[in-house]
Amino acid sequence: MIPVHLNAVATAVPPNVLEQSDVERRVRAQFADSAVVTRLLPVFANTGIERRYSCVPVEWYYEEHRWADRNALYRESALELVEEAAREALARAAIAPEAIDAIVSVSTTGLATPSLEASLMERLPFGRRTARLPIVGLGCVGGALGLARAADLVRGGSFANVLLIGVECCTLWFRRNEVTKSNIVATALFGDGAAAAVLSRSGSGARIAAVGEYTFPRSLDIMGWDVADDGLQAIFSRDIPALIARELREILDDFLARNGLTIDEIDAFLSHPGGTKVLDALEGAFALAPGSLVDSRAVLRDYGNMSSVTLLFVLERALREGALARARSGRALLSAMGPGFTAAFLTLER
């Protein structure tokens, strides 16, 4: 089997910082007359988030915006961010754009046609025969499944070097007049960011070994976006932590068994941090001590939930801090869950 080496990961964030305490103060003032919002305000402190990053300054959120205006900002901001992340990932991998055989792009928070990787090809000197694979609609599971699809391209033998790019501009869809639990939770949780990774059939990077996913039956309403006249509305309609606690371990054990592994052979766990309750539930499912998902919790604290790219931020931090190097077996499990409702797993080996 052709090996797949993860030779570089890089991330990027926009310049506008959203301090969580300031966002809470502004939401409190914006919805001062709403008993619903007052009851939900503790969610800002309970997220474990200290700051996030936004494509637009905070003053922008006090104005009305049409779908077309929001999406135009998405296209502009997303391209800037993925270019920054892609340039850095290519530099870290010491590979020229001309050597990339395929580009996989992942994003759910806007519509771009031509897709982002096509626009990126006008900014970096990729070959004109570079294959393109845009993936839309995966939400928070997109980082894991983007890596999986990119790894499949390398493993298939036709592509020696694949670039994965991902970007999410979640904050552009804040709804200033909507008094619902989903809107307030989204306002407390989501941030903007981009990431890129270089996967190759050769190199010194850790090897992506097993990949897999599981889509739960009758679960389409758990998470996603609703389309409204003026933009996208967040959907959180079920108790995700309870679902994780009830069903994830059996699904994970089946994935590991099909790849000749047990959970005892995993020494590092890198998970998409959907929120603190999700991380608590994951630690329970993985039989870890509370607080063990250090990298996931640190990324949530410093960046918030950036949907698909958050797992790549966790991965970058873990590689930088040496989590895989310290792993006794040299093996890590990457995991994420998102709309579908789908769980995705990858194993990474030193």
Q: Residue 237: what pLDDT?
A: 64
Both 241 and 132 in one domain: the answer is no
Both 148 and 212 in one domain: the answer is no
Strand 5-12 versus strand 192-200 pairing type? antiparallel
Strand 192-200 versus strand 131-136 pairing type? unpaired
196 residue type, one letter: A
Both 210 and 318 in one domain: the answer is yes
Both 176 and 233 in one domain: the answer is no
- List, in sequence order, the alpha helices (H) in 195-307: 240-243, 249-258, 276-285, 294-303
Both 73 and 139 in one domain: the answer is yes
199 - beta bridge partners?
6, 162
Q: Which of 55, 140, 169, 170 is catalytic?
A: 140
Domains in the chain: how many in total?
2
pTM as predicted: 0.95
CA-based Rg of the chain, rounded to a whole angstrom?
A: 19
Q: Residue 250: what pLDDT?
A: 96
Tell which of 200, 230, 251 closes a domain: 200
Both 36 and 172 in one domain: the answer is yes
Tell which of 200, 215, 233 closes a domain: 200
Beta-sheet strand order (sheet of 268-271): 131-136, 102-107, 161-169, 192-200, 5-12, 206-215, 342-349, 331-338, 268-271
Q: Residue 17: what pLDDT?
A: 97
Q: Residue 142: what pLDDT?
A: 95
Both 133 and 229 in one domain: the answer is no
Residue-number span of the structural domain to which 283 is assigned: 206-349
Both 43 and 138 in one domain: the answer is yes
Q: Residue 180: what pLDDT?
A: 77
Under-50 pLDDT residues of the chain: none
Both 271 and 170 in one domain: the answer is no
Residue 169 annotated among the catalytic residues of the structure:
no
Both 313 and 178 in one domain: the answer is no
DSSP helix/strand/coil, 243: helix
Whether the CB-CB separation of 120 and 165 falls below 8 Å is answered with yes
Sole residue written with tokens 């914006």: 30
Both 32 and 53 in one domain: the answer is yes
Tell which of 145, 178, 200 closes a domain: 200
Both 190 and 138 in one domain: the answer is yes
**127-171 pLDDT, tens digit each:** 999 999 999 989 999 999 999 999 999 999 899 999 999 999 999
Q: Residue 37: what pLDDT?
A: 79
Q: Residue 276: what pLDDT?
A: 92
| CATH number reported for the structural domain that contains residue 305 in this entry | 3.40.47.10
The whole-angstrom distance between residue 57's C-alpha and the CA centroid of its chain comes to 22
